Amino acid sequence: MKTILVIDVGTTGLRASLVDDTLAVQAMEYRSCPPSTPFPGLVEFDGAELAAKLLDAARTVLATTKDPVVAVGITNQRASTLVWDRNTGEPVGPGLGWQDLRTVGECIMAKLEHGWSVAPNQSSTKAGWILANTSGLEGRDLCVGTIDSWIAWTLSEGALHVSDQTNASATTNGLRVVDGSVLPGPVGANPALTIAAFADLVADDVILGIIKEVLSQPAYVNGAVLDGVVRTVPQAAGLEKVLSDLGRSLGAVLVFDIPDEEIIERISGRLTCDKCSAPFTGREPGIACDALPCSSGTGGGVLVRRKDDEPDAVKTRLDAYRKSTEPVLAWYIGNGTRVATINAVGPVDEITERARLALGL
């Protein structure tokens, strides 16, 4: 049986899981790793501590299986940023969390003086601040990266400094433009950095190759639903070729239509226990956790909301989606692909039935 190691780094902790080729979770380990807030609006994290806890969690789950690990999947906070020394592998200082606001002034001046449109919740402003405010960086071979880059570097013992196109894009983090070149701005214009400081982008060919391999398996001969794997127009065009090579075609693109207010309510309603990580909805932050590990007296946790699930943060994420992903929908419409828009408000069973009807199932 093949196994995938899945790493999920959130705002306050991380998980390492093993998923088998039936998509069942075989083992999971959680490690608390909350950021620090030295002053209001400032959010920092310890990259070395994160790496140590990541390796501990990963090694623990890997010890539960003898099956080969064929891939690593990473999901993470998009804009949290770190700078480290390529030779030592050590961070040059604290990383800045995605919600850190210390670069508001720099963003305003970048717009006024250079016409650069950057925001404090983008990695380019955070990396620029770290480089400008950390002493002793002259002449050092530096790496600038987001959390996915740091995870890949950590797991590969420095062999990989990579990111994905959507995470590095101008609209998400302001590090690169669509063709992969470094975006001029607080980081790209820094004369102390070379292109080697920035994470290499995982090529679309790699992503599409994985999709092709999976769709070639007998389990998917009758079709499959792809979720979240086509995020750019080049990827959409590449998927068309993959399907053509397999003698198949895209039946439809499903668009789940949800008002922003509903999305904000749903996401901001997600809570977890700060001790046992049990998930909750329909509760309020701050109340005591009544899940078994806590109610039995061994936990004593309270319910908290992730910083990136706060209403204002969700609005920012929606804006980023419209800038980076909606062009893909326009591309499909322009190419005559059947696009089915589904009302995604209501009970899950009703939404599922609407999707089935839209697909003619």
Distance from C-alpha of 271 to C-alpha of 281, rounded to nearest angstrom? 6
**pLDDT on residue 85:** 93
**pLDDT on residue 170:** 44
Three-state SS at 4: strand
125 token code pair? 């402003």
The dihedral region occupied by 199, where left means phi > 0, alpha psi between -120 and 50, and beta the remainder, is: beta
User: What residue ranges in 171-216 does DSSP mark as E strands?
Assistant: 200-201
Maximal C-alpha separation, the chain = 63
Distance from C-alpha of 184 to C-alpha of 128, rounded to nearest angstrom? 12
**pLDDT on residue 248:** 92
**pLDDT on residue 197:** 63
**pLDDT on residue 168:** 65
Q: Phi/psi at 347 (nearest 5 deg)?
A: -65, 150
Residues of the chain with pLDDT under 70: 117, 165-201, 277, 292-293, 295-299, 307-308, 324
Element (H, E) at 206: helix 204-215
Q: What is the 3-state secondary structure (H, E, C) of 132-168?
A: HHCCCCCCCCEEEEEHHHHHHHHHCCCCCCEECHHHH
Residue 324, CA distances (Å) to 332, 342, 358 in order: 15, 21, 26
Provide the residue type at 97 as one letter.
Answer: G
282 token code pair? 């329909």
Distance from C-alpha of 36 to C-alpha of 335, rounded to nearest angstrom? 48
Q: Please tell me what DSSP assigns to residue 68.
A: P
Distance from C-alpha of 361 to C-alpha of 19, rounded to nearest angstrom? 29
**pLDDT on residue 166:** 66
Asked if 211 and 174 touch (Cβ cutoff 8 Å), the reply is: no
How many residues appear in the chain?
A: 361
Distance from C-alpha of 156 to C-alpha of 174, rounded to nearest angstrom? 25
Angle 160-161-162 from CA coordinates, rounded to 5°: 100
Pairing of strands 162-163, 200-201: parallel
**pLDDT on residue 175:** 55
* Residue in this structure with the two tokens 């902790």, named with its chain if needed: 13
**pLDDT on residue 245:** 94
**pLDDT on residue 72:** 92
**pLDDT on residue 95:** 94
β-bridge partners, 31: 14
* Residue in this structure with the two tokens 């992969």, named with its chain if needed: 180
Quick one: CATH architecture of 3-201?
Answer: 2-Layer Sandwich (3.30)
